[in-house]
Structure 1
């Protein structure tokens, strides 16, 4: 799993329906990070693109926003042997200038998680400032890299809650890269491997992502999280609501735009399994990432693949697809 707990700091009632205003992150904000995703998470904070995970290159949790630190809190985590037993919430009152550039209302508040805070209430921070080191949170699945979680709350809303967060748009074009699902293992961890594909050979936008068969760049956990999404494509590749998307020749889901940013709509995954060399694995973890080789993890806690081993992925219909929750 990745993301943040839905209501980590208190037990207040939900704040009602989320506002429709969208906070827009520019290339200058996102370009400080190695990769990003809006919906690669089972947690409600990411539901329908209402948060973004930003993956730094160096283990430093740099601020994606400018403003004044309002609050710093430590919260408990699920007990995971591979992770810390506590996480941290940093609340920032956004500067008016930052809000104006992001199309956010004055008084909007940022919520930042998964960083061990080296800042205190009252500190002023600029975009790019170090807030502290990232932490391996117990809210992560074991295959998830350390990252900065960023969400926004409207003025006068409870900043400690995730439910009711504002939609987040990332105004960065993402190149969709086709792939046949074959490659050799170049990285392995306890619960995942990375293959040497997909690759892109021509210069393009800084970020790229795995494309559906229709040429739409994909975001999320395919299909181990119930819903996923798409990125805004570099050449305008888009999928209207109701469009069926396929991967490796099999239908994987349907585009929906209700409650999602129209530039990067969501996807309701269908009932399918991902297989590696003919055996079912948990799924594919997708992001927009930099570089020629990027951004696809094969999540396979019950399989072992060796470095250099050839792997072929496919997708097949399933009567019992894997769906991971937050427990």
Structure 2
């Protein structure tokens, strides 16, 4: 019959084996390259392990390990996507009022990752819900201070940057071990077809207005360039005319100075010559008679008739010479 000592011995051996198995299986763990681990000693977070490989620790229940991923997570705000397709939308979350009192539907995606596993695990009960609510508050704050045109067209990048800045501040303030990497607006649209059609008409009218303004500015610039060219040409011609007049005036001064020198040496002769030259300029075909002071006509040498006779004689002689030359050539 088995006695009590044997029972205790067998039980001790079994318990020892179980303890050895427990120690053997709970004294080590592995960390992948995409993981990070938090070591708990009697339930208190002690260390964070980020280097991959085989690690050792005290057996359970002295130390335990919680593993988290290093990957980048995506928070889909206002919609849910599965297999690359949107499977559901929540308009209660995405419906917002802009700063100019228009209603838009805005959804976005937030890229985030866990940067402090201890705070992520133990500073809050539901860090992802906190992140979702902070995203909603940030987006509504920015949309509520923006105009509808900015939200639908050119202001999307500014809205994304402002939402990321506010969201990062909130996450830092909540201290939940999360870092926001990027914020991307997915869709910003109007709530129904009638509003979309009206906004499209307004947008088309604005584009037409901008086109007309650009054409008017182009025409204005063209005319201003032409006017500036004409002004430059007029100034250039005026400067040329000025230079010509200055040179002509200098020439006249030089002529006057020479005449004045001659006048000082023989004033009577110079005076008479200037008088005759002036009469010739004013009356180029007039016959000039030189009179005495008593009014009687002086006899003068008829130079002009003599010059005409001499010219006629020279012309006759020249034509006769040509006739003789031609007769000799004929012979």
TM-score using structure 1 length: 0.16
Higher relative contact order (CA 8 A, sep 6+): 1
Max radius of gyration: which structure? 2
Given the two structures, how large is their TM-score scaled by the length of structure 2? 0.16
